[in-house]
Amino acid sequence: MKLDNKLVDIDFLPNRDLLYSGYCIKQNRQVLILVNYDTRAKRFDGFTVFRPKEITKYRFWTKADIQKIKKDNRKELDSLITVDKMNTFYSCLKSLDKDSLVSFFTDNLTKEYYVAKITKLSRVSVTLKLVDLNGKLTSTKTLTLADINYFSFMTKYEQKLISNAT
């Protein structure tokens, strides 16, 4: 499965009841980096990093799907990150700005996730300063990288939390 530079819908069933749409900007054995597509706004919104081994099905977009895009802002978003060095979960997290908010998804059943700033990162774990719904920093939590199913960053959701805090 070669998804680089393709507009795709990615399905994670039966592992997760999850369908993601977007533009794949990088795929290797360790990570698949997707520029998320917001179906309501009909534009691209931030990034999500997945483990390719968890992808069960995918579908390439048709011409009809592509025509539904209202604002093709992929190049604008692509310019915000350097994917060349983003080859593992660790290197993707390491490449983020220290003030970035990241959403970490950790549980398939409860859809549990954490929004946080990264305070410490190693090849095994990440220590987070959690952020509440008002954008305020709260408690600290440490996750092993193996326990993270996927994570997203630079989405409107994280941006809104950053603006709430200022």
User: Do residues 42 and 33 make contact, with C-beta atoms less than 8 angstroms apart?
Assistant: no
Tens digit of each residue's pLDDT (9 = 90 or more) over 11-49? 876 655 668 899 999 999 999 999 999 999 999 999 999
Q: Chain-centre distance of CA 12, in angstroms? A: 14
Average pLDDT over residues 112-131: 94
135: left (phi over 0), alpha (psi -120 to 50) or beta: left
Among candidates 125, 113, 118, which has minimal Cα distance to 151? Answer: 113
Average pLDDT over residues 51-56: 85
User: Do residues 77 and 154 make contact, with C-beta atoms less than 8 angstroms apart?
Assistant: yes
Confidence of residue 134 (pLDDT cuts 50, 70, 90): confident
Beta strands 19-27; 32-38: pairing state: antiparallel
Q: For the chain, what percentages of helix, strand and coil (3-state, to nearest 5) are there? A: 20, 40, 40
Cα separation, 67 vs 93, whole angstroms: 33
Residue 110: per-residue pLDDT: 60
Among candidates 111, 142, 117, 147, which has minimal Cα distance to 132? Answer: 117
Q: What is the DSSP letter of 85?
A: G
pLDDT exceeds 80 at position 81: yes
What domains does the chain contain, in order, with CATH numbers? Answer: 6-165 (2.30.30.600)
Residue 13: per-residue pLDDT: 64
Give the tokens for residue 149. 């199913």
Residue 142: per-residue pLDDT: 96
Average pLDDT over residues 86-98: 95
Radius of gyration of the chain (CA): 15
pLDDT exceeds 60 at position 90: yes
pLDDT exceeds 70 at position 166: no
pTM: 0.91
Burial class (CB in 10 A: 0-12, 13-18, 19+), 79: exposed
Confidence of residue 93 (pLDDT cuts 50, 70, 90): very high
